Structure 1
């Protein structure tokens, strides 16, 4: 038996480990993809590397949310991880521009499913008094995967071919799946899957109760899409050989602040923590736009990581606060739809604004700072949220 108000359990620990491997799997290849696309003659499509991925993730969210509330959290997580495995094996086989872009679209279904099921699973396990703290700890393992993935992928790419990176990414997803087999389902009443579940009514797509935190998250995640798309080229421009270094820096810097941010939001509310996150994000993107050296770029990475470490668990806890148990999967799916939309639009817009011209780096980063600034201002019109 767990102690009252405790969320530590074997299932929670295994879910965190599975999440680490899942995020490491699909992030492992990201730093090498712009150069890979260049070599195939598709330099003008760099903005699609992330935007296609996030488009399919966003499109799949309403389905994953409904399925998580019907067939269970674990099957939904396993569907996403399985997509990572299959697509990782196919990248070396479809090594032409059209095939690559198709796989990027399919790959996005992985994050459309697994994080939705995983977040709902955590919300089922955790008492509301510890919701922010638990989301902070859970997201910490995802962030570790996001840090380890690019670092390992970048290292492997310097020794082996990128095909090796694809294969390692695929088999990392397999280990994530094996761990999920051990978990106990938390959905009280599961239903057998049917084609009818894939038919969505209008009110099954978006959970209106959680629109406010989801819209704020959209504005924040615009910068995330910019970073994913532009940082590899910006790293090369500044003479940094390992294009995954910035990703490692910002992810590691987010780790220490996640638990603190979660606990603070449990005590003082979600909105004050979100304001601090948005202000930090504005500073990070402005500094990135002014960076002309490796040191300044890495300092901006630290600030960016702090912002992500604050807004990620806080938004998830805020969404669960506003949702009802029966539609918890739908509520979290709505949050992820806005998250993917922010990343995808940020990626697409940054690719368009950058246009493979180094003179446009500052324009791209300052634009993303503007979106974060809008989120900061909007939060002053939001009533302080309760923590339960």
Structure 2
């Protein structure tokens, strides 16, 4: 038996590395803005909490609204073109932040930044799906997601250092430069679509591909609970008499990173649907444990199980969607599925916050567990329907 046959299709090619490098440069640029924008609104524009919320949320709003159209664009015109255009819009809008002399102007620029994000992110994640052999898609998504996690972990640290030492004008330029580096690397990635594959026409492209609907709902159920956990565990830790939740937040992120790197092939080996079920089961048990076992050990157990669930879930759900999507609709499929992340991160904390305000924080975690349980029920039913 040959070595090639034993090893299976190659995943890490020079094109894949270029794509990962471009994504890392982009997510670093994005991460630098996380601490810089709120501080700029509060100090330079003298805005209050509402102004900070508006400026920060404007980015997510335009990104969410445009995702279906960016998916169609990537399918018709190529993934790298979406990444290049998105990166340029991102860089240009961020470079203009220093010229904003009011909340209105900054929010308008943030809307443009969200436009750039919609194009770049959908282009990048779809290019990754093109380059991955079908039997290694879960591994590819796991490895790709590391660029996001590293960028959003290191980027804010860079942002704070630059703001403290060189000021806001400099951080806008540094972030824009990192985004332009992503553009240059994207130029080298090239067209990742299959050679000779049919291109979707304007008349038959669908904004919401059928293959994406169930996976999008599954991802919504998964991220809804995670978003609530991240929003309320800092306060819940204080309720338990702890000084903070840093240990739990770090532990959660560390578990996700370790599983998606060392265990990147788990979703492929277990199968996408089985991995989704395990993910949502772990998430349901995790949030139920936090809600009912209201002690520090209960929070530890819940955090570990939640980390496992989230680490397995996102790659498996995206793989499930890609396995059912035709090559001509991969961009639209990824755009639809990733919309769930935006919706869950926006509505999850709000709905669970209302629950906590009218009842208790443990009840909010119970509500999040219910969302995950509904996702698990959908995954089980979906598996039965597809096996008939």
Please state which band the TM-score falls in when normalised by the shorter chain. 0.7 to 0.9
Equivalent in the alignment of 1:53 = 59
Distance 1:71 1:53, change over 3 A: same
Q: Offset of 1:246 from its aligned partner? A: 7.6
Deviations 1:64-97 (A, max 9, x none): 1111111111010112222321222222322533
Deviations 1:210-238 (A, max 9, x none): 21111111122224554676789999998
Deviations 1:292-332 (A, max 9, x none): 99999898766554433222211221111010112111111
Equivalent in the alignment of 1:343 = 345
Distance 1:51 1:258, change over 3 A: same
Equivalent in the alignment of 1:90 = 96
Distance 1:283 1:152, change over 3 A: farther
- Is the 2:221–2:374 Cα contact (8 Å) retained in structure 1? yes
Higher mean displacement: 210-219 or 247-256: 247-256
SS for the counterpart of 1:186 is coil
Q: Out of 4, 27, 31, which is 1:27 matched to?
A: 31
Q: Offset of 1:259 from its aligned partner? A: 4.4
> What runs of 5+ residues in structure 2 fail to find an aligned partner?
none
Equivalent in the alignment of 1:269 = 271
Distance 1:221 1:177, change over 3 A: same
Equivalent in the alignment of 2:159 = 153
> What runs of 5+ residues in structure 1 fail to find an aligned partner?
none
Distance 1:360 1:94, change over 3 A: farther
Distance 1:7 1:343, change over 3 A: same
Distance 1:343 1:248, change over 3 A: same
Count of residue pairs brought into register by the alignment: 375
- Is the 1:143–1:252 Cα contact (8 Å) retained in structure 2? no
Distance 1:167 1:100, change over 3 A: same
Counterpart mapping for 1:298-317 below 5 A: 304-317=306-319
- Is the 1:261–1:273 Cα contact (8 Å) retained in structure 2? no
Asked if residue 64 in structure 1 is aligned to residue 70 in structure 2, the reply is yes
Counterpart mapping for 1:344-359 below 5 A: 344-346=346-348, 348-349=350-351
Mapped partners of 2:39, 2:331: distance in 1: 37
Distance 1:305 1:119, change over 3 A: same
Asked if residue 130 in structure 1 is aligned to residue 132 in structure 2, the reply is no
- Is the 2:198–2:328 Cα contact (8 Å) retained in structure 1? no
Q: Out of 112, 119, 123, which is 1:117 matched to?
A: 123
Distance 1:141 1:216, change over 3 A: same
Which structure has more RCO (C-alpha within 8 Å, separation ≥ 6)?
1
Distance 1:384 1:96, change over 3 A: farther
Asked if residue 184 in structure 1 is aligned to residue 190 in structure 2, the reply is yes
Mapped partners of 1:61, 1:257: distance in 2: 28
Q: TM-score, normalised by structure 2?
A: 0.78
Mapped partners of 2:167, 2:233: distance in 1: 21
Q: Offset of 1:38 from its aligned partner? A: 4.7
Q: Offset of 1:122 from its aligned partner? A: 1.8
Counterpart mapping for 1:1-388 below 5 A: 5-31=9-35, 33-34=37-38, 36-39=40-43, 40-44=46-50, 48=54, 51-187=57-193, 188=195, 204-223=206-225, 225-226=227-228, 250-259=252-261, 262-282=264-284, 304-346=306-348, 348-349=350-351, 367-383=367-383
Q: Offset of 1:341 from its aligned partner? A: 2.0
Q: Offset of 1:15 from its aligned partner? A: 0.6
Q: TM-score, normalised by structure 1?
A: 0.78
SS for the counterpart of 1:6 is coil
Higher mean displacement: 23-32 or 176-185: 23-32
- Bigger radius of gyration: 2
Distance 1:202 1:60, change over 3 A: farther
